[in-house]
Amino acid sequence: EPEKREVLKVLTKKEQIDSLWNMGVSRREINRMKKEEDRIEKIISLQNKKQFNEDMLKISTATRQDSLK
């Protein structure tokens, strides 16, 4: 996590906002994030959630294939 934080701190405010927008965060919610730390935390939580969902999909796909054998 500290490495992710450092990478995200290098991004400009506009790049952080664009990332949030591309991840589906509403403009209203983005505008409420006044501090860089708030934006970074949100980006990391969304990345972690996305990774979790991908991992769960892989597990469920593997389980289904095993049960078909």
Tens-place pLDDT, residues 7-44: 899 999 999 999 999 999 999 999 999 999 999 999 99
39: phi then psi, degrees, rounded to nearest 5:
-65, -45
- If pLDDT is split at 50, 70 and 90, which confidence band does 69 have? low
Contact of 8 with 43, CB cutoff 8 Å: yes
| Burial category of 39 from C-beta neighbours within 10 Å (exposed 0-12, middle 13-18, buried 19 and up) | buried
- If pLDDT is split at 50, 70 and 90, which confidence band does 54 have? confident
Rounded-to-integer distance, Cα 37 and Cα 68, Å: 47
* pLDDT at position 20: 95
Longest dimension (CA), the chain: 53
